[in-house]
A = this chain, B = another copy of it.
Amino acid sequence: MFPYKTSIQLNRKKEQALYLQLANQFINLIKERKLLPKTKLPGSRTLSELLEVHRKTIVACYEELHLQGWVESVPKKGTFVHGNLPELQQQDFLENNVILNLKKSGFQFYKDASLNRKYFIPQEGFMYLNDGISDARLTPTEDLARIYRRICSRKNIYKDMSYGSLFGNEKLRITLANYLNKTRGLNIDKENILITRGSQMGIHLAAKLLLKEDDNLIVGETNYASADTSFLQQKVNLLRVSVDENGLVTDEIEEICKKKSIKGVYVTSHHHHPTTVTLSAERRIHLLNLAQKYNFAIIEDDYDYDFNYNHSPILPLASHDTNGNVIYIGSVCKTVAPVFRIGYLIAAKEFVNEAANQRRFIDRQGDALLELTFEEFIKNGDLDRHIKKVMKVYKTRRDLFCKLLIENFTNILSFEIPKGGMAVWVALYKEYSWKTVSEIAKNHQLEIGEWQRYDNANIGHNSIRVGFATYNEEEIYELINRMKKIFTELSSKVL
């Protein structure tokens, strides 16, 4: 007889029931071909004595093996390993609880090297020059959590917890339509809104609906790198136009339209990513007229609308659009915190409907509980109050950071004070390179994680975005201190 006693270990302290431990060990013995097909298993009485467990445990184990298809019962003859089980041809068999941590797939799949962007993992003690992100410490997290919990205690909340609308929670769509109409001069109904997981999903959906292989899309010669990537995933031709102090040069767009059919223009109207300039009123109207004349879409990514320090925000292109040319994309991720993945895609109803159909097959639907939380947060005026509060903080940080840059580094770099947003567009003088700076920076516990992503078109502007909003006053001084050390080392190298 097979050495059951030495091959089977039962642990009475484990959570798992004994009969299941036993069944799983039998399954392993069968898979490992230690028990071959058609092998007769011992009778329940014999095995129970051998393993010193109750006979009922053996009976339950055999019943389980039978139900799972590993053994067959032949009346009056006993229990046999299933006769038709093929041999499992895996390289190695596993003990219980061995962690395999497979590295390589056993099949081919498509890799897209363009997606493989440097990903910054914060190290203890390091500071980080980021793209312009908000300070999560300013988030009214507990207020939001309180609203969330209150919503979860509503008597009929379960109705919002099953499979629901592809478009996002109805209440949030209504509140958001009102809010955006009031604050941004839009003229939309809830049916023009798809609630997304942040702007990136809006860009992804717009790209998917608008673009196929060899279509033409116009973007700036500098452009938001993640948007470029999303468009290139559709195998589109990116046609690049100049960007000056008034944003995309729309005359160049007009010239292209005269020669080629284009599907759309991607614009970060307010403020151009990465250079932080605002698209002028003149060009806004020009672009809208071109879109109407040549029937193309304007993908307006208004990620920075809430952050203007010098004047009230300029109304988006979408607020002047009566012809359905604009796909307007935004989110609360920058304004409140990236962890709250609530965004919106706004367009003519037929476009929103198709975007919702696509979205169904990406992640089915949003998080209605979080959507309801933000519905209250917006309707109560909490969002507006939060924006006012952080605006003051970020303006102070911008002013301090820019003052210190001017005081310390005008021999090495140049920049315009940004009128809004969370980042400064900083150009190094030609004798220096961000590559060298980022290498030296590591010696001084500063990570310049993203210097490569700002010159997709290789125009050699020698600039990167430097976010200031995420650091408080003390941290800004510390950042400047580290930059001083870095630039001192840099200058000594260049000299």
By a beta-carbon cutoff of 8 Å, the part of chain A in contact with chain B is 20, 23-24, 27, 31, 63-64, 67-70, 82, 84-94, 97-112, 115-117, 119, 133-134, 136-137, 139, 141-142, 144-146, 148-149, 152-153, 157-164, 166, 181, 185, 187-189, 191-192, 196-198, 200-201, 204, 209-210, 212, 226, 229-230, 233, 246, 263-264, 280-282, 285-286, 288-289, 291-293, 295-297, 310-312, 314-315, 320-325, 337-341, 347-351, 354, 357-358, 360-370, 470
- Complex Cα distance, B153 from A310, in Å, reads 35
Residues of the B chain whose Cβ atoms lie less than 8 Å from the Cβ of A312: 20, 23, 64, 68
Contacts of A97 on B, CB cut-off 8 Å? 181, 187
Contacts A295-B107, A354-B109 given; indicate if A153 touches B142 (C-beta within 8 A).
yes
Q: Which among B23, B87, B187, B204 is the interface contact of A100 at CB below 8 angstroms?
A: B187
* Contact status B361-A341, CB under 8 Å: no
- When distances are taken between beta carbons in the complex, the residues of chain B under 8 Å from A291 are 106-107
A94 to B318, CA, bound (A): 13
Listed residue (A105, A146, A210) with the most chain B CB atoms within 10 angstroms of its CB: A105
Residues on B with C-beta less than 8 A from A102 are 188, 192, 321-322, 324, 347-349
Q: In the complex, are the beta carbons of B133 and A141 less than 8 A apart?
A: no
Q: Cβ of A89: which chain B residues have Cβ within 8 Å of it?
A: 288-289, 292-293
A99 contact from B107, B188, B340, Cβ within 8 A: B188
Residues A360 and B115 in contact, CB atoms below 8 Å apart: yes
Interface of A is mostly: loop
| Chain B residue contacts of A289, Cβ below 8 A | 86-89
Are A337 and B288 closer than 8 Å at their CB atoms? no
Task: Please tell me if the beta carbons of B280 and A351 are within 8 angstroms of each other in the complex.
Answer: no
The contact of A146 among B93, B149, B367, by CB within 8 Å, is B149
* Interchain CB contact under 8 A, A285 and B85: yes
Distance, CA A102 to CA B186, complexed state (A): 11
Residue from B85, B144, B210, B282 within 8 A of A69 (CB atoms): B282
Is B367 in contact with A341, judged by CB distance below 8 angstroms? Answer: yes
Interfacial chain B residues near A297, Cβ < 8 Å: 105-107, 109
Extra inter-chain contacts (18) besides given A115-B358, A145-B149, A148-B148, CB under 8 Å? A67-B311, A85-B281, A89-B289, A91-B323, A103-B324, A106-B348, A107-B263, A109-B209, A141-B157, A145-B152, A145-B153, A161-B337, A161-B338, A162-B339, A164-B339, A201-B363, A229-B361, A338-B364
Q: How far is the CB of A209 from chain B (nearest CB, A)?
A: 5
Q: How many copies, total?
A: 2
Q: Check B68–A311 contact: CB distance below 8 A.
A: yes
Give the residues in chain B near A363, CB-CB below 8 Å: 196-198, 200-201, 204, 341, 362-363
27 A-B residue pairs with Cβ-Cβ distance under 8 Å, sorted by A, are: A23-B312, A64-B312, A68-B312, A69-B246, A85-B285, A86-B282, A86-B285, A88-B285, A99-B181, A99-B187, A101-B189, A101-B191, A101-B349, A106-B295, A111-B209, A112-B357, A117-B360, A136-B158, A141-B161, A142-B149, A148-B148, A196-B363, A200-B364, A201-B363, A230-B361, A233-B361, A341-B367
Alpha-carbon distance A351/B110, docked complex (angstroms)? 10
Q: How far is the CB of A226 from chain B (nearest CB, A)?
A: 7
Are A162's CB and B338's CB within 8 A? yes
Asked whether A141 lies within 8 Å of B158 as measured between CB atoms, the reply is yes
| A134, B162: Cα distance in complex, Å | 8
> What are the residues of chain B within 8 A of A322 when measuring CB–CB?
90-94, 100, 102
Given contacts A82-B282, A187-B100, A201-B363, contact A116 B68 (CB under 8 A): no
> Shortest Cβ distance from A10 into chain B, in angstroms?
16
Contact indicator B192/A350 (Cβ below 8 Å)? no
Q: A185-B24, A187-B98 are in contact. Are A351 and B105 (CB under 8 A)?
A: yes
Min distance, Cβ A153 to any Cβ of chain B, angstroms: 6
CB distance from A216 to the nearest CB of B (A): 13
Q: Which residues of B contact A246 (CB under 8 A)?
A: 69
Q: Is the CB of B103 within 8 A of A349?
A: yes
The answer on a CB contact under 8 Å between A204 and B112 is: no
Contact between chains at A362 and B201 (CB < 8 Å): yes
Docked Cα-Cα span, A453 to B270, in Å, equals 45
3 interchain residue pairs of minimum CB distance: A145-B152, A101-B189, A197-B363
Chain B residues near A354 (CB-CB < 8 A): 109, 111-112, 115
Rounded to whole Å, the gap between the CB of A272 and the closest CB of chain B is 14
For residue A365, which residues in chain B have a CB less than 8 angstroms away from its CB?
A: 338, 341
Name the contact of A212 in the complex, choosing from B94, B110, B340, B366 (C-beta under 8 A).
Answer: B110
Which residues on the B side are within 8 Å of A311 (C-beta)? 63-64, 67-68
Q: In the bound complex, do residue B350 and residue A105 qualify as a contact, i.e. CB atoms below 8 Å apart?
A: yes
Compute how far the CA of A82 lies from the CA of B112 in the bound complex, rounded to whole angstroms: 48
